[in-house]
Amino acid sequence: MKCPFCGKIEDKVIDSRMSTEGVNIRRRRECLECGKRFTTYEYVEDAPLMVVKRDGTRKRFDRDRIQTGIIKACEKRPVSMEKIEQIVDEIERQIQRKADKEIKSTDIGNMVMEKLYDLDEVAYVRFASVYRRFKDVSHFMNELKKFLE
């Protein structure tokens, strides 16, 4: 595994843990060159899952895109990275349980919004404002009214 700090490929595994759901393995590694530690994850790779975008194009599913969106929505909010990773894991499992190997990006966005709604109100509204592409303040206010009801 290439060290993200110095680029060398020699490292040792310090700790390995299976997730509570048993879907991935988290490994703590230490670079033998610079001594810094980093974390890697192992997942079982199935047949590629494709995401159908709004414009009809297809892209390979990338859990990092979901995680990045949630991290941005939760910026400066009291939400731990552990909770964010748990949400991403739940969404990924939900998607993989579907029989179809294609999923609409809007379905993924709705799953994220559902999780954020229960997690943090501000993060939910932030994500919704980008995801739903609010055109003006009235659209934003309508979403807030739904949330407050």
Instruction: Report the C-alpha gap between 44 and 21 in whole angstroms.
Output: 13
Residue 58's contacts (CB-CB under 8 Å, 6 or more residues apart) are 50, 51, 52, 102
Give the rounded distance of the alpha carbon of 46 from its chain centre. Answer: 18
Instruction: Report the C-alpha gap between 140 and 133 in whole angstroms.
Output: 9
Question: Whole-prediction pTM value?
Answer: 0.63
Instruction: State the pLDDT confidence band at 145, using cuts at 50, 70 and 90.
Output: confident
User: How many Cα atoms sit within 13 Å of 45 on the Cβ side?
Assistant: 6
Q: Which two tokens stand for residue 68?
A: 């990045």
| pLDDT, tens digit (0-9, with 9 covering 90-100), for 13-67 | 999 998 877 778 999 999 999 999 999 988 876 667 889 998 999 999 899 999 9
Does the structure show a pLDDT above 80 at 132?
no
Instruction: Report the C-alpha gap between 34 and 12 in whole angstroms.
Output: 12
Q: Say which residue the tokens 């910026």 belong to.
A: 75
